[in-house]
């Protein structure tokens, strides 16, 4: 929206859900026939929010255990995305409605369900504030390059695979140039 300066996220159309897929998110008393009708007459969307860079987010080892410091910092943007999407859908004329069009089943995926890891290895020119240089080589270990999503400050609420591949090619070109 024009009145919000931070990214809200991304909306993607999904394949069709069936009654068994939507059942866990529906009220427990919903009859099976109604779940089948809901599945047959619904449109499935995937909403992705972006985690904005946060210098306090980090993964450390404490007493031999992995410790995660993570702050959800863009929940307002995600809420605005959902609100905006519902507003857009409310203006559509869908013709005959078996069920109220304002019924939305949703599920949040917990942090453990993250599909694309990103961050943890800040990159830059200053070894005091970054782990990698701009060619994704570690400042402290010669000849060690990291070309996965670790160098991303954020992934923009979209699949980062092509950007990771493009960066790996960029770093590969740099390394090939060093060997000449």
- Same domain assignment for residues 25 and 106: yes
Of 111, 131, 148, the position where a domain reaches its end is 111
Inside any domain, residue 154: yes
CA triple 66-171-163, angle to 5 deg: 70
Under a CB-based contact definition with an 8 Å cutoff, are residues 144 and 138 in contact? yes
- Same domain assignment for residues 31 and 79: yes
Inside any domain, residue 4: no
What's the mean pLDDT in 64-81?
Answer: 88
For 24-77, the three-class secondary structure string (H helix, E strand, C coil) is HHCCCCCCHHHHHHHHHCCCCEEEECCCCCCCCCEEEEECCEEEEECCCCCHHH
Bridging pattern class, strands 58-62 and 45-48 = unpaired
- Same domain assignment for residues 107 and 166: no
What's the mean pLDDT in 37-52?
Answer: 84
pTM for this model (two decimals): 0.69
Inside any domain, residue 80: yes
Inside any domain, residue 3: no
Structural domain range at position 129: 115-180
Inside any domain, residue 149: yes
- Alpha helices by DSSP H, 66-160: 75-90
Q: How many Å apart are CA 174 and CA 143, to the nearest integer?
A: 12
- Same domain assignment for residues 44 and 67: yes
Of 51, 80, 111, the position where a domain reaches its end is 111
Q: Of the ranges 4-13, 126-135, 143-152, 159-168, which one carries the lowest mean pLDDT score?
A: 4-13
Summarize pLDDT for 90-126 with one digit per residue, the tens: 877 766 666 555 667 777 777 777 777 788 888 899 9
Inside any domain, residue 5: no
Q: What residues have CB less than 8 Å from 176, skipping those under 6 apart? A: none
Residues forming a β-bridge with 60:
67
Half-sphere exposure of 95 (CA within 13 A, CB side): 1
Inside any domain, residue 133: yes
Q: What residues have CB less than 8 Å from 78, skipping those under 6 apart? A: 8, 9, 47, 49
Inside any domain, residue 55: yes
For the chain, what is the domain count?
2
């Amino acid at each position: 929206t024009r009145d919000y300066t931070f990214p809200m996220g991304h909306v993607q159309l999904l394949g069709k859900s069936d009654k068994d897929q939507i059942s866990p998110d529906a009220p427990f008393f919903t009859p099976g026939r109604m779940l089948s009708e809901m599945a047959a007459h619904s449109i499935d969307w995937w909403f992705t929010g972006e985690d904005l860079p946060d210098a306090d987010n980090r993964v450390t080892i404490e007493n031999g255990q992995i410790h995660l410091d993570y702050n959800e910092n863009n929940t307002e943007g995600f809420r605005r995305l959902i609100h905006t999407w519902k507003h857009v859908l409310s203006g559509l004329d869908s013709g005959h409605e078996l069920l109220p069009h304002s019924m939305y089943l949703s599920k949040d995926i917990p942090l453990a369900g993250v599909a694309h890891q990103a961050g943890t290895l800040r990159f830059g020119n200053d070894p005091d504030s970054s782990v990698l240089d701009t060619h994704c080589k570690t400042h402290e270990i010669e000849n060690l390059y990291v070309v996965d999503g670790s160098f991303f400050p954020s992934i923009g609420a979209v699949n980062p695979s092509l950007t990771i591949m493009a960066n790996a090619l960029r770093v590969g070109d740099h390394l090939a140039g060093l060997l000449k």
